[in-house]
Amino acid sequence: MADADEKAKAEKLAAARKRVAQLQKKKGKKSGKKEKPAGGPSKEPELAEPAPVPDEADAPPEAPEQEPEPETKDDEPEKAQERSTESFPDAPNETPEANASEKAEGGARRHCSLPRIPPSSPTVVIHPVQDALLTGLTPTGSGVKSPPLPPLSPDGNTAPELFRKQALRLEELERENKRLEQELETADARWKKSEEQLEDLREANTETVELKERLVTAEKKAEYVEKLKAEITALQRQNSHLQTKSHRSSNSVTVSGKPESPPSELQSQLESKSATIEAMELEISNLRAQLASQTEKASTIETQLSSLKDELSSVRAALDKEEKEHANTKSRMDRMIEKSVSEGVTQASTQTLISNLKDELEQVNSAKAEAENRTATMEKKLEALGNLHKESEIRHQARLRERDKFEKDVLTLRRKLVTIETRTRGSRRSVKELENARW
């Protein structure tokens, strides 16, 4: 689409240049023929005859007469280049303000068109034409330059600075993203460690429950031991009672063998139960020691568990916060990358358009310089014709007719130049300033 627009612009510019060249050749031919009577009054009738219009194919190229202008001619390419470099960003976008200014300029140019001068003032005939040509076509050495190149961003940054800042911002976001990823990995490791410690605490809690169950069993065994102790004391009393009875009945022979068996059986039962009691007491003491150590360990584990739960909750909160920051950073980076890519594409298309507009502006400036040179030649010839116009009324009437025709041609030429000037903002501004300075 951009290539088609550029091609259309180039074709329009070439057609405009061709028409301007044709008009200039016609005017140059006509003024060349009319310059010959300036040597004497004997060739006055030739000026009244209309000059023949040559065809495009038969029209020979003419070199316009130029007077050397050492300062202005040398400065014109530099000023044109400065105007082209300073005013080319205005070309891609057509704003309503620019359209309004163009309409206002068109109205001003219509109001500034060349007036019809009556025959009663022969001495003032040439001056409006000269002033119009001077104001519309010739540059001045002290022309005001176009405003400087506006920045590409609203905050005053140019394209390289904008891209450099975006690159620094992307690097900073990448470093922040890496830092957040490292913090996330650390938080994950702490999370896993906390989970492992929680599992250990759960296992220790199960061991504590088992120890409590064993303690209950040991207490039951202790109760059983107390019962056995009571039975032992009862057996001991019974044994002592039987021993006293055996001493009393030592005189009888029949009783001496049989009563000895119950005390021996009771003694063996007493010894076995005493051994069982001692073993149970030893086991109970061991179980109580284990219970005390396990109770202390359980209290320590419960304290650690509460602290780990608090730490786990804080780690979860920090992890959620870091995940949110990571998501926000990632979204910001995606937006920055998309913005950088879109701005890069826009800058590439803008640079291409700028280069094309520079070439077009150079061509238009060269065409304008050629038209200005031809206009200067025509001004000199108009001065000679003004001197001849003062001599007779016949020559004055003929000159008026020629002037009317010449004014129409000049207006046509000015319209063509205005069309070219609207395509080049820098040239249009300089012409506008010259017209404002005159009016």
pLDDT tens per residue across span 105-142: 444 444 444 444 444 444 444 444 444 444 444 444 44
Q: Are 91 and 357 in contact (CB under 8 A)?
A: yes
**Residue 315 pLDDT > 50, yes or no?**
yes
DSSP one-letter code for 154? T
pLDDT at 322: 80
Q: What is the pTM of this model?
A: 0.26
The span from the CA of 145 to the CA of 373, in Å, is: 21
Own/partner contacts of 43-50, CB < 8 Å, gap of 24 or more, are: 44/388, 44/391, 44/392, 44/395, 47/385, 47/388, 47/395, 47/398, 47/399, 47/402, 48/394, 48/395, 48/398, 50/402, 50/405
pLDDT at 169: 80
Among 143, 82, 140, 144, CA closest to 372 = 140
Provide the CA 323 distance to its chain's centre, in angstroms.
Answer: 25
Q: Roughly what angle, to the nearest 10 degrees, separates helices 425-438 and 96-111?
A: 40
pLDDT at 77: 45
pLDDT at 127: 44
The first and second tokens of residue 307, run together, are 């602290």
**Distances 283 to 215, 226, 227, 286, 290 between C-alpha atoms, Å:** 11, 14, 17, 5, 10
The first and second tokens of residue 244, run together, are 């006293």
Amino acid letter, 106 = G
E-strand ranges in 269-351 read none
Backbone angles phi, psi at 401, to 5 degrees: -60, -45
Q: Which CATH number fits domain 167-335: 3.90.650.10, 3.40.50.150, 1.10.287.2610, 3.30.465.10?
A: 1.10.287.2610
The span from the CA of 64 to the CA of 375, in Å, is: 9
pLDDT at 426: 67
Using a pLDDT cut of 90, give the percent of the chain over it: 0
The first and second tokens of residue 144, run together, are 């005001």
**Residue 156 pLDDT > 50, yes or no?**
yes
Backbone angles phi, psi at 431, to 5 degrees: -65, -40
**Residue 143 pLDDT > 70, yes or no?**
no
**Distances 427 to 163, 244, 323, 362 between C-alpha atoms, Å:** 32, 149, 58, 11
Region of poorest pLDDT, from 73-87, 152-166, 204-218, 418-432: 73-87
The span from the CA of 147 to the CA of 150, in Å, is: 8
Q: Are 133 and 408 in contact (CB under 8 A)?
A: no
The span from the CA of 301 to the CA of 308, in Å, is: 10
The full set of domain ranges for the chain reads 2-162+355-438, 167-335
If you compute the radius of gyration of the chain from its CA atoms, what whole number of angstroms results? 59
**Residue 260 pLDDT > 50, yes or no?**
no
Q: What number is the average pLDDT over the span 172-192?
A: 83
Q: Are 135 and 435 in contact (CB under 8 A)?
A: yes
Exposure string for 281-299, b = 16+ CB within 10 A, e = fewer: eeebeebeeebeebeeebe
Q: Which helix (H) or strand (E) holds 20?
A: helix 2-35
Ramachandran class of 87: left when φ > 0, alpha when ψ lies in -120 to 50, beta otherwise:
alpha
pLDDT at 43: 39
Own/partner contacts of 156-161, CB < 8 Å, gap of 24 or more, are: 159/347
Amino acid letter, 427 = S
Amino acid letter, 243 = Q
Exposure string for 119-132, b = 16+ CB within 10 A, e = fewer: eeebeebbebbbeb
**Residue 51 pLDDT > 60, yes or no?**
no
**Residue 85 pLDDT > 50, yes or no?**
no
Amino acid letter, 125 = V
State which of 53-67, 70-84, 329-343 shows the largest mean pLDDT.
329-343
